Structure 1
Amino acid sequence: MQDIEGNDVSLSQFTGKVLLIVNVASKCGLTHGNYKELNILYAKYKAKGFEILAFPCNQFGSQEPGTDAEIKETVCTTFKAEFPVFGKIEVNGNNAAPLYKFLKEQKGGLFGDSIKWNFAKFLVDKQGNVVDRYAPTTSPLEIEKDIEKLLASA
């Protein structure tokens, strides 16, 4: 995958960590609350082997219209995100990123596999298994107990 600055990033560098993978958007009604809570989780669990991987996506209501540089400015300045943010991708359709094809294959949604909106969340264990999928309206803090369980496991 490419990070927000266009650098290639091997997802294998996250092996052995618990991951929360989220498709994000800067202009969504869910944006402020999600970024605030994601930042809280990241600060609390990063040192324990937890990572959040954020993937900007403009497929839902055109709510992430900017360039990667504009997205980076917004995410880092306005939302103060310190977790890894990647380049803008598609999560549905023929051009969906391979990562999202894998995630959806592993954990289908309640009403079909496609991602329904911004801030869908996938929880991945230390071995790379997709453990759970959460709706866009699920508060990141509601996932905290699940993250703690995975961090405590071998």
Structure 2
Amino acid sequence: MNALMEMFGNHNFTVLGFPCNQFGLQSPEVNHEMLSILTYVRPGGGFVPKFPIFGKVEVNGLNEEPLFTFLKENLPFVNPLIGETKKLFWSPIKVNDIRWNFERFLITADGIPFRRYELHCPFENVEKDIADLL
């Protein structure tokens, strides 16, 4: 995400980071620990985000943030949720739920959801879409 900010940060573009612990309980830290974890542990190596990191949220289930309800309703998946559901910590599980950390959404400058990217989507696809929108 830092690379995207370096490429497009001088344009009408920004990345917004929303930590979540609903995927394999991989983000157990509390909000005030978030930047230290990023810098020293995961990804570590002195990493400093070049974009805003918000407080931890729930992106699926009964307590999901309304922003993510809106995004999922406007950019649904057509494929069923697959994988090891024992690592998914929310209920109820729905077909349009966010599948794992680092799933991305691209939103236009007018606030219109444009595209949803799965975890393993090639970085070049996201980069091209941003460049096309800008």
Normalising by structure 1, report the TM-score: 0.70
Residues in 1 aligned to 2:4 and 2:13: alpha-carbon distance in whole angstroms:
9
Larger radius of gyration: 2
Residues in 1 aligned to 2:34 and 2:20: alpha-carbon distance in whole angstroms:
10
**Post-superposition, which runs of at least 4 consecutive aligned residues in structure 1 deviate over 4 A?**
none
Residues in 2 aligned to 1:99 and 1:71: alpha-carbon distance in whole angstroms:
21
Seq. identity, %:
40
- Secondary structure of the residue aligned to 1:51 is coil
- 2:28 pairs, out of 57, 60, 65, with 65
Deviation of the 1:70 alpha carbon: 1.3
- Render the CA deviation track for 1:81-131: whole Å, top value 9, x for unaligned: 110100000000010001101100110123321111111110001111101
Residues in 2 aligned to 1:51 and 1:98: alpha-carbon distance in whole angstroms:
20
RCO (CA 8 Å, sep 6+): is it higher in 1 or 2?
1
* Structure 2: segments with no counterpart, 5+ residues: 80-94
Pairs within 5 Å for 1:1-154 = 38-76=1-39, 78=44, 79-111=47-79, 112-151=95-134
* Structure 1: segments with no counterpart, 5+ residues: 1-37
Q: CA RMSD in A?
A: 1.3
Normalising by structure 2, report the TM-score: 0.80
Return the structure number with greater strand share. 1
Count residues in correspondence.
Answer: 114
